[in-house]
Amino acid sequence: MKYAIYGVNRIAKDFMYIFDKTDIVCFYTDGEEQAWMGLPVYKIDDWYKVEKNYDRIIICDIEKDEKRKKLENMGLKYKADFLYEEDFFMSLDRYPLNSCAKKMIAWGAGRRAEKLAYFYGLDNIEFFVDSKEQGLYWKNSGKKILLPDKVDRWDSYFVVITVAKSDSIIKSLEERGLIHYRDYCTLGELLTQPSWMLKKTIFDKNCYNVECRTIFNHVELNQTGELQCCCVPFVIGRIGNVEEGSIESIWTGIVHKIMCLAINNRTYSFCNSEMCPVFIGRERNGKIDLINEYMNIEDFPRNLLVNFEDSCNLRCESCRDKVQIANGKEYEKNIRYADLLIEKVLPHVEFIIMAGTGEVFVGKGYERMYLSDAMRKVKWIRLLTNGTLFNKQNWEKFSKNKLGKIFLTVSVDAATKETYEKLRRNGNFDILRENMEFASQLRKSGKLSYFRMNFVVQKKNYQEMPLFVQWGKQLGADEVFFTKILNYGTYSQDEFFEISMMEEDGMTPKKELVKILDLPIMKDEIVDLGTIRYSHEPIGIDYIENYYKWELERKVPHLFE
């Protein structure tokens, strides 16, 4: 079937980017005739001159009433002679969600619930459900938090599961007679439904005047097999799961393509501007130039973050209750994921970051990767570690036969033995200090090309921030990086507010923290306040090829040359 598009605008351009196999023969406009995107443009008043060249017209616009009235005055009928661009959207969905159009509730009141409210809209959520009631209302929003037993008529709602471990919740819902997709779904399934994603970005009226290409060239693999194309707190979430399809098909699939569209059209509809430093000081009031070309997805990701193994020698207070070492099926899965990345992704990768979860020097899946021959050709390797095992023996094992530069980032979170061993349970501060001295020597000798120390700010450690900066300066660290603590389901709402040094909006530092941030040493050139938005200046550049490279080059220019 052949089509004409009524509308020479960004909406039409977005439509053609996604539905690139659709046979479009021309455009109609209310203005002057011209040529656009390699096709002729005709005045809509002259539609009869070329109507035999196509079967139907597609109206592409945010406001469609005037265009519809004009076509109807010409005797054309909706669906018979013309369609809307959104009539095509549902053809991209694998399954219909909430086919009965029921009111939505969220099961879970933590960080994932925040993501649902941010991207889908708090007004679209009737109330929240949580197994331990966390207060009368969710974040003072006026939306109630109910215990599961207090919910009447489950079948009258569409339930979105906003917790990471959902098996027991799914079982509970199905015991109540609810059916997957019709009556409930997970947060990932809702937020990556193509028809919803397209509506969100295509009809988004505002743009940012910045170009960040990370989503086009970066991929992450997490513990459940989900692939993401940017840092989880910064974007909407997964683009697919390796348990359900190949990496190649997911990377070139429709969910990833729609996320790339939101970069091309500069709406950044799936980016969390409250978290990502790229958006500090920017307003969404720009307009994209229709002349700009839309970039296609690269054939393979050039940047990889491995995030798939939980094995760790520590049991940090904010993370877990016990030391976790993968065995049995979990061990087999980690090895399988490692082999998958070694075969399918590493041959194309220039920059690898390992690892976002667990400990590199404990996880056998991670070890399998960094000992593989495929790592020899990687140009840049960023090692993320808790530092307790970063000794000479493990360094020599990790760095052996590597041709690329190695960057080190150590998560510490304290500057004294007492605080460190409270927060980093099972850790030994004396051993950590020795290992940091070793890292300092490697940096000074050039064996490490970059050295950063991380500090997650919370009530139990914020007063040690100045001392941490002093320690970093003594070691010759390139950067001392601070970030606010996030709730990964470890704490109740009230517990988290007590621990966090942010006000309830999650953005404003509490007055006690402000006093620390105002100290002269906190303005030292090696300090980066990360997601703690205080006295932050806009980044001052309008093009970022890859966020993960950019954040390192802010402190060490030309690091990736």
**Three-state SS at 189:** helix
Q: Which band of pLDDT confidence, cut at 50, 70 and 90, is reported for residue 294?
A: very high
Distance CA 203, CA 188 (A): 21
Distance CA 49, CA 28 (A): 12
Q: Which band of pLDDT confidence, cut at 50, 70 and 90, is reported for residue 164?
A: confident
360 neighbors 354 (Cβ within 8 angstroms): yes
Q: Which band of pLDDT confidence, cut at 50, 70 and 90, is reported for residue 496?
A: confident
Q: DSSP letter for 521, please.
A: G
| Per-residue pLDDT at 320 | 66
For residue 307, what are the β-bridge partners?
Answer: 222
Distance CA 312, CA 324 (A): 6
415 neighbors 386 (Cβ within 8 angstroms): no
The alpha carbons of the chain give a radius of gyration, in whole angstroms, of 26
Q: Fold for domain 103-191?
A: Rossmann fold (3.40.50)
Q: What is the CATH number of domain 303-536?
A: 3.20.20.70
Asked if residue 474 has pLDDT above 80, the reply is: yes
Q: Which of 489, 464, 402, 408 is closest to 441 using CA atoms?
A: 408
Asked if residue 286 has pLDDT above 70, the reply is: no
Asked if residue 249 has pLDDT above 90, the reply is: yes
- Residue-range domain boundaries for the chain: 2-92, 103-191, 194-279, 303-536
Helices (H) and strands (E) in the chain, counts: 18, 23
The tokens describing 495, both together, are 């517990």
Residue 113: asked if its preceding bond is cis (omega within 30°), the reply is no
| Per-residue pLDDT at 324 | 79
**Three-state SS at 82:** strand
- Report the predicted TM-score, pTM, of the whole model to 2 decimal places: 0.90
Q: Which of 248, 260, 108 is closest to 194 using CA atoms?
A: 260
- Kindly report, residue by residue over 519-552, the tens digit of the pLDDT: 999 999 999 998 887 666 777 788 999 999 999 9
- Kindly report, residue by residue over 106-133, the tens digit of the pLDDT: 999 888 898 899 999 999 999 999 987 7
In one-letter notation, the amino acid at residue 294 is Y
Asked if residue 511 has pLDDT above 90, the reply is: yes
Does 2-92 match 103-191 in CATH topology? Answer: yes
234 neighbors 272 (Cβ within 8 angstroms): yes
Asked if the 2-92 domain carries CATH number 3.40.50.720, the reply is yes
Q: Which of 245, 256, 275 is closest to 215 using CA atoms?
A: 256
The secondary structure of 16-59 as a DSSP string is: HHHSTTSEEEEEEESS--EEETTEEEEEGGGGGGTGGG-SEEEE
**Three-state SS at 244:** coil
Q: Pick the more confident residue, 278 or 516.
A: 516
Report in angstroms the alpha-carbon separations of 373 from 44, 370, 398, 406. 61, 8, 12, 16
The CA-based diameter of the chain, rounded to the nearest angstrom, is 83
